[in-house]
Amino acid sequence: MKNPISIGLAAATCLSMVAALFMVFVYVPTEAEQGIVQRIFYFHLPCAWVAFLGFGIVALAGGLYLWLGHKVWDDLSYAAAELGMLFCTLVLVTGSIWAKPIWGVWWTWDSRLTTTFILWLLYGSYLLLRAFADDTDGIARFAAVLGIVGVLDIPIIIISVRLWRTIHPAVLLTRQGEHGLQDLRMVATLLVSLAAFTIMFVWLLWMRVATLRLRTRIVRLRRTLALRELAEAHR
């Protein structure tokens, strides 16, 4: 936290989150049909965006690790997967909270919900692999492939409301090609919330990557010391 970049990101996160909360609960008007419960949309969509961003970084960093073999890309991929999984879980939770008063059920096997759940399972498998398997180059490469394959589900999630019959609303752009948010205050609130969640994601990613890089240095140092002790023992 003493790093100027970390301090700046932390301050930006706090300020942008305060602004987003004010706009969500005070500034933006209540939606006419769904009522006050619709305000969860301003958390639900940013969580989805940040989850997709995290998983996209997993795939990109994983591809760079397979190509270049540098551990820093593996650490970045691992950190992004953890954060992507966190926000993907929040997407499912906030979606269920939103669904209960609108649809009358906490969960339904709608196309967008199902494909999002599949994404959650794919990257849950990624994290289980990294948590319980040995931290070797082979495991890291296998995880990189899994991270790249998993990201292919994201385009399917995005277009699922147009591919299949679904009860999930197309909020930003309706099926008729019209804009879902008619009031400019709703658009402004959504943009501020998206910015706040993105800044928070960058801050958390920065700190997590720094932690993983420190862990990598400690592991290398321990291996070096072990080899020296072994060499001295055989003298």
pLDDT of 169 reads 61
pLDDT of 135 reads 75
Please state, in angstroms and rounded to a whole number, the distance separating the CA atoms of residues 176 and 18.
Answer: 35
Q: What is the pLDDT of residues 118-171, one digit of tens each?
A: 999 999 999 999 888 777 888 889 999 999 999 999 999 888 767 666 666 656
Q: How far apart are the first and last CA of the chain?
A: 44
DSSP state letter for 30: P
pLDDT of 66 reads 94
Query: Tens-digit pLDDT profile for the chain (235 aa)?
Result: 567 888 899 999 999 999 999 999 999 888 777 888 889 999 999 999 999 999 999 999 999 999 998 889 999 999 999 999 999 999 999 999 988 888 888 888 888 888 999 999 999 999 999 888 777 888 889 999 999 999 999 999 888 767 666 666 656 555 555 556 677 888 899 999 999 999 999 999 999 999 888 887 887 787 778 777 776 776 6
Please state, in angstroms and rounded to a whole number, the distance separating the CA atoms of residues 141 and 151.
Answer: 16
DSSP for 167-212, please give it.
-S---SB-TTS-BS--SHHHHHHHHHHHHHHHHHHHHHHHHHHHHH
Closest CA to 34 of 216, 162, 180: 180
pLDDT of 180 reads 60
Closest CA to 88 of 128, 115, 111, 116: 116
Please list, in sequence order, all residues whose beta carbon lies within 8 angstroms of the beta carbon of residue 161, skipping any fewer than 6 positions away. Answer: 111, 112, 168, 169, 170, 175
3-state secondary structure of 31: strand
